[in-house]
């Protein structure tokens, strides 16, 4: 049943899935080693981290808000986990400690925005700085290198040639898809984002919904940070910086606009794949990361133009029908 | 209807910062009656109902349901007691479907994988379809609310309130404000049905004729105080109005018809695809020209095209005999036009800014030619208009959002008077404005016409159109279908044209 539902949801997805196909075809033709199994797996490995962090960002945006602190939360959780591992703490415990530290950021975000009605830009922007600063302070700005292979298995390992990271990301993605489409909490996120007053008048505890969503976002960001450390085999205190940009981009490209209450995580997953593919392909064509930001920016604008034109087209069609 | 009292509110008070919204208000509702709550805007009706439905918390007072005292601290409390409400503004999520809206916050759940509580969508949609059938709406519960018409949305709101399992009290806050005659009849038959099932309805409305048709008893509030409860059948409307405003309003529409001057605004063959077609009319100085039609007939669209807010495909606009083309409202303002939009809060005022800032908003260049603002000058100008238009406000330094609807409308008017506008377009000038303030707005409009302004007035309030206009144009599906002058205008004929039946009597 869930399978049929996913197919149905896939059909509902914006044309963005074709965008992914076009991008893959483009690089397949222009870049020599793009369409190899190795490279495809590489893209998926890169996408896995972005998918996990973008899921949280999408939930925050569905809420009609945003979470600017996800990138530095990734960095902070990454270095905390790294330090714990180097101190000889077991892997599960180290991960738990890292995630717990990350969830403090989400707790502060959620409490101040949900219960104290602070502006979400100010709160998550401030925490972006605070988490970044903490990550730098506890590491003295240095990268923590080298972890043992059992930890690296998470982000860098393979099962039958398929990266473990992408399997984990997919499992998390399925859980979040299910949560957002099939639970009360998911429905409440849409309600709060659609119109907070309507949600409140319908008896929904909006503060609690906001609080929970921000904690979830920080947990997802934290886990993405751990995946990243495992993948690159080092914990860099600024490793997550810039991920908030990509996560917002993945959300927007995936069809969840800033006004909240519409869109969904399914599109975001495709959006994240598009960005990962784009960055990989552009690297192969010799275009460096600095110029890649410009292209991602352009693509977002293109998609918005397409969206606006599409709405206009639909409105015109509707208008013509009314006239008849 | 029986005499059994099901709901009793005793001595309810509620204080908001700076206002005593409710002062020791009582209300008792009988089983199966339609109890009308009447009062001007700001009288406290909506506040009282929000307390009853758990949106606000009362400061003091007691609520008894079925003779037992109850505490209502949240919307859920109210719903569990069987108290449902249809709010004045739409409380729907446009991007969610009908079922998701109706069951919002009370979705049926079941045990899913790993024993987690998940939505029971099958039950939700089948229950929703059933509910829609009982309310008499023929719609698929999976349609997104944004794709519904206004009346359909209203019916979804009603279905949402009726979805409460043990509904005893249904509160309706101005449910007919956006409905047409036929839809109102449909709503009334639903009300009668639920009434016969013993459900009590608390009905908030301004419309006297509706109260006569549907109401059993009326409770009147004024300035947050309880004035009295009377049976509808034995109380004439004039008495209800007297209770409501605390004074007699004998002649709401006062018009001095004078010989109109030259044509100030002339519109020739104006067309905009899908909105309106071949619109021809003129407004002369000293005239109020009414535009009547159903919602969606194209009146507001014509006004917005003239004002340069919307584009048009063909036709000409002349101001004082000179051909003009407005690509944006700033050009219309330069040509001495002013628009008082239907949606005051979003289009007419910057509600977060001060009264005086709003007044000078459209005349900054004129008042401050050097481009540097001056607080004192703003205050002087605003003070002048506060006196001139009798705006009820502590001073010129209040945030416009805190004013009542009628006073907000006066601020919009002040803004245009300051620009020396000669052609004024009033779009629904008194919508959501209470009777007392209405009379003042009408008087101001009459004075403006007398002083030689040309006024185009769009209104869906037929008595207002007939009572105030020199001439009346009726629009239907984007076209002007009839023109009347104030002597030969009759309600029946105008309505017939407006609903597309032409002159069939």
- Region B254-264: mean pLDDT is 90
Average pLDDT for residues B271-291, to the nearest whole number?
95
* Mean pLDDT across B126-147: 89
Residue B495 pLDDT level (bands cut at 50, 70, 90): confident
Q: How confident is the model at residue B17 (pLDDT cuts 50, 70, 90)?
A: low
Q: The domain B5-245: what is its CATH number? A: 3.40.50.300
- HEC string for A87-154: CCCCHHHHHHHHHHHHHHHHHHHHHHHHHCCCCHHHHHHHHHHHHHHHHHHHHCCCCEECCCHHHHHH
> Would you give the DSSP letter of residue B33?
-
pLDDT digits (tens, 9 = 90+) for B324-363: 999 999 999 999 999 999 888 888 999 889 999 999 999 9
Contacting residues of B for A188, CB less than 8 Å apart: 105
**Given a cut of 50, is residue A321 above it in pLDDT?**
no
- Report the C-alpha gap between B136 and B164 in whole angstroms: 17
Closest CA to A261 of A196, A165, A318, A305: A196
What's the average model confidence in pLDDT over B77-89?
Answer: 90
Query: Which residue, among B95, B146, B294, would best test binding to A if mutated, counting the most A CBs under 10 Å from its CB?
Result: B95
**Distance (Å) from the C-alpha of residue A54 to the closest C-alpha of chain B?**
22
Is residue B490 predicted with pLDDT exceeding 80? Answer: yes
Give yes or no for residue A95 having a pLDDT over 50. yes
The residue of chain A nearest to residue B110, with distances taken between CA atoms, is A183
- Gap from A129 CA to chain B (nearest CA, Å): 31
Q: For residue B54, which residues of chain A lie inside 8 Å, CB to CB?
A: 203
Contacts of A4 in chain B (CB under 8 A): none
User: What does pLDDT average to over chain B?
Assistant: 90
Chain A CB contacts of B106 under 8 Å are: 202-203
Distance of CA B137 to the CA centre of its chain: 24
CA B235/CA B241 separation, integer angstroms: 10
d(CA B230, CA A115): 44
Read off the pLDDT of each residue in B103-129 and give the average, rounded to a whole number: 91
Residue B307, SS3 per DSSP: coil
- Alpha helices (H) in chain A, listed in sequence order: 2-12, 16-30, 37-62, 70-86, 91-110, 120-139, 149-156, 164-182, 184-194, 196-201, 206-232, 243-253, 265-284, 289-323
Task: Give me the residue spans of the domains in chain A.
Answer: 2-314
Looking at residue B97, the DSSP 8-state letter turns out to be: B
Looking at residues B271-294, what average pLDDT do you find?
94
Task: Examine the pLDDT at B410 and tell me if it is beyond 80.
Answer: yes
- In the prediction, which pLDDT does B435 show? 76
Biggest CA-to-CA distance, chain B: 82
DSSP secondary structure string, B199-236?
Answer: -EEEEE---HHHHHHH-SEEEEEETTEEEEEEESTTS-
pLDDT at position B90: 79
Q: Please determine whether the domains at B5-245 and B262-336+422-434+453-505 fall in the same fold group of CATH.
A: yes
Cβ atoms of residues A269 and A254 within 8 Å: yes
> Taking the domains of chain B in order of start, what are their residue ranges?
5-245, 262-336+422-434+453-505, 345-421
Whole-angstrom CA distances from A186 to A264, B250, B304 are 10, 56, 40
Q: Which of residues 195-214 of A touch B (CB under 8 A)?
A: 195, 197-204
pLDDT of residue B248: 60
Measured CA to CA, the distance from residue A80 to residue A184 in angstroms comes to 33
Q: Is B387 exposed, middle or buried (0-12, 13-18, 19+ CB in 10 A)?
A: exposed
Polymer length in residues for chain B: 505
Fold designation for B262-336+422-434+453-505: Rossmann fold (3.40.50)
Contacts of residue B91 in chain A, CB cutoff 8 Å? 195, 197-198, 201-202
pLDDT higher than threshold 90 for residue A99: yes
Supply the pLDDT for residue A153.
Answer: 93
Overall average pLDDT of the B390-419 stretch: 91
CB of B95 closer than 8 Å to CB of B144: yes
Strand partners, B230: B218
Q: What is the DSSP letter of B144?
A: B
CB B168 within 8 A of CB B72: no
Decide if pLDDT at B125 tops 90: yes
pLDDT grade for A256, boundaries at 50, 70 and 90: very high
- Which stretch of A103-112, A308-317, B483-492 has the lowest confidence by average pLDDT? A308-317
Confidence of residue B461 (pLDDT cuts 50, 70, 90): confident
Radius of gyration of chain B (CA): 25
Instruction: Tell me the pLDDT tens digit for each residue of B212-230.
Output: 899 999 999 988 899 999 9
Instruction: Determine whether the interchain pair B93/A195 forms a contact, defined as Cβ–Cβ distance below 8 Å.
Output: yes
What was the pLDDT predicted at B31?
Answer: 95
Any idea what DSSP says for residue B184? H
Mean pLDDT, rounded, for B87-102: 90
Interface size A-B, in CB pairs within 8 Å, comes to 72
Asked if residue B435 lies in contact with residue B40, where contact means CB atoms within 8 angstroms, the answer is: yes
Q: Is A315 on the interface with B (CB under 8 A)?
A: no
Kindly state the average pLDDT of the residues B59-65: 95
**Is B76 in Cβ contact with A182 (below 8 Å)?**
no
Residue in B74, B93, B273 nearest the CB of A194: B93
The answer to whether B468 touches B479, Cβ cutoff 8 Å, is no
Query: Given the DSSP bridges, would you call strands B454-458 and B423-427 parallel, antiparallel or unpaired?
Result: parallel
Distance CA B148, CA B102 (A): 14
Task: Supply the pTM of this predicted model.
Answer: 0.80
Scanning every residue of chain A, which has its alpha carbon at the shortest distance from the alpha carbon of B101?
Answer: A191
> Which candidate, A253, A259, A227, A257, places its Cα nearest to that of A240?
A227
Residue A11, pLDDT score: 64
Contacts of A160 (CB under 8 A, 6+ apart): none
| Contact criterion met (CB below 8 Å) for B199 and B134 | no
Least confident of A281-290, B237-246, B275-284, B438-447: B237-246
- Displacement of CA A181 from its chain's centroid (Å): 17
Q: Which of A49-63, A291-305, B253-267 has the lowest mean pLDDT?
A: A291-305
Residues A220-249: tens digit of each pLDDT: 999 999 999 999 999 999 999 999 999 999
Residue B49 has pLDDT above 90, yes or no: yes
Nearest to A224, CA basis, from A195, B257, A232, B481: A232
> For all residues of chain A together, what is the average pLDDT?
90
ipTM of the shown complex: 0.84
Tell me the CATH number of domain A2-314, given options 1.20.120, 1.10.246, 1.10.3470, 3.30.70. Answer: 1.10.3470
């Amino acid at each position: 049943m869930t399978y049929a539902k996913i197919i149905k949801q896939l059909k509902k997805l914006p044309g963005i899935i074709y965008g992914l196909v076009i991008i893959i075809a483009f690089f397949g033709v222009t870049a020599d080693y793009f369409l190899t199994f190795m490279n495809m797996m590489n893209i998926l490995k890169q996408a896995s981290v972005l998918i996990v962090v973008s899921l949280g960002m999408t939930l925050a945006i569905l809420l009609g808000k945003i979470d600017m602190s996800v990138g530095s939360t990734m960095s902070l959780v990454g270095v905390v986990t790294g330090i714990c591992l180097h101190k000889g703490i077991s892997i599960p415990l180290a991960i738990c400690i890292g995630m717990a530290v990350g969830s403090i950021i989400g707790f502060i975000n959620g409490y101040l925005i949900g219960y104290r009605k602070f502006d979400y830009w100010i709160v998550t922007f401030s925490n972006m700085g605070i988490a970044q600063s903490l990550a730098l302070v506890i590491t003295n700005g240095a990268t923590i290198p080298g972890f043992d292979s059992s930890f690296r298995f998470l982000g860098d390992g393979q099962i039958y040639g398929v990266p473990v990271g992408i399997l984990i990301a997919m499992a998390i993605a399925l859980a979040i898809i299910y949560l957002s489409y099939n639970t009360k909490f998911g429905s409440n996120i849409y309600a709060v984002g659609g119109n907070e007053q309507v949600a409140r008048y319908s008896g929904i505890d909006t503060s609690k919904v906001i609080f929970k969503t921000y904690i979830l976002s920080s947990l997802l960001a934290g886990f993405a940070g751990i995946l990243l450390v495992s993948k690159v085999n080092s914990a860099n205190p600024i490793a997550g910086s810039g991920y908030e940009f990509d996560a917002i981009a993945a959300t927007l490209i995936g069809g969840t606009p800033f006004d909240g209450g519409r869109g969904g995580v399914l599109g975001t997953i495709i959006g994240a794949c598009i960005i990962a593919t784009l960055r990989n392909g552009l690297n192969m064509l010799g275009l460096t990361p600095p110029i890649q930001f410009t292209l991602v920016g352009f693509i977002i604008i293109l998609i918005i133009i397409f969206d606006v034109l599409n709405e206009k087209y639909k409105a015109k069609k509707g208008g013509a029908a009314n006239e008849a | 209807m029986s005499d059994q009292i099901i709901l009793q509110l005793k001595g309810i008070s509620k204080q908001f910062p700076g206002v005593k919204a409710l002062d020791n208000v009582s209300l008792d509702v009988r089983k199966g009656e339609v109890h009308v709550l009447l009062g001007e805007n700001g009288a406290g009706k909506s506040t009282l109902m929000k307390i009853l439905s758990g949106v606000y918390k009362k400061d003091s007072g007691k609520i008894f349901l079925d003779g037992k005292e109850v505490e209502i601290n949240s919307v859920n409390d109210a719903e569990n007691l069987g108290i449902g409400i249809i709010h004045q503004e739409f409380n729907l999520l446009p991007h969610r479907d009908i079922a998701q809206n109706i069951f919002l916050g009370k979705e049926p759940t079941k045990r899913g994988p790993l024993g987690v509580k998940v939505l029971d969508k099958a039950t939700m949609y089948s229950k929703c379809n059933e509910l829609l059938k009982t309310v008499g709406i023929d719609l698929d519960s999976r349609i997104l609310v944004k794709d519904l018409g206004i009346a359909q949305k209203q019916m979804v709101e009603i279905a949402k309130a009726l979805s409460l399992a043990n509904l005893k009290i249904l509160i309706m806050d101005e449910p007919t404000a956006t409905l047409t005659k036929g839809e109102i009849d449909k709503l009334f038959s639903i009300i009668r049905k639920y009434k016969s099932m013993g459900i009590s309805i608390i009905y908030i409305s301004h419309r006297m004729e509706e109260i006569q048709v549907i109401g059993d008893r009326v409770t009147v509030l004024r300035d947050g105080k309880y004035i009295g409860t009377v049976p509808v059948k034995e109380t004439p409307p004039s008495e209800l109005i007297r209770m409501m405003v605390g004074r007699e309003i004998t002649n709401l529409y006062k018009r001095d018809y004078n010989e109109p001057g030259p044509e100030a605004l002339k519109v020739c063959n104006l067309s905009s695809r899908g909105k309106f077609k071949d619109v021809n009319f003129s407004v002369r100085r000293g005239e109020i020209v009414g535009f009547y039609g159903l919602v969606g007939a194209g009146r507001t669209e014509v006004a917005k095209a003239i004002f340069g807010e919307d584009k048009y495909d063909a036709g000409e606009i002349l101001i004082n005999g000179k051909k003009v083309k407005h690509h944006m409202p700033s050009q219309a303002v330069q040509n001495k036009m002013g628009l008082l939009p239907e949606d005051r809060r979003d289009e007419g005022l910057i509600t977060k800014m001060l009264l005086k800032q709003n007044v000078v908003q459209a005349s900054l260049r004129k008042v401050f030619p050097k481009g540097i603002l001056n607080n004192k000058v703003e205050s002087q100008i605003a003070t002048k208009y506060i006196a001139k238009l009798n705006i009820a406000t502590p001073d010129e330094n209040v945030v416009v959002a805190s004013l009542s609807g009628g006073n907000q409308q006066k601020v919009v008017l002040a803004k245009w008077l300051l620009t020396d506008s000669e052609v004024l377009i009033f779009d629904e000038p008194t919508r959501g404005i209470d009777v007392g303030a209405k009379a003042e707005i009408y008087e101001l409009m009459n004075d403006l016409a007398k002083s030689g302004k040309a006024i185009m007035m769009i209104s869906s309030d037929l008595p207002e159109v007939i009572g105030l206009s020199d001439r009346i144009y009726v629009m239907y599906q984007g076209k002007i279908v009839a023109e009347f002058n104030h002597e030969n205008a009759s309600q029946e004929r105008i309505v017939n044209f407006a609903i597309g039946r032409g002159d069939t009597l």
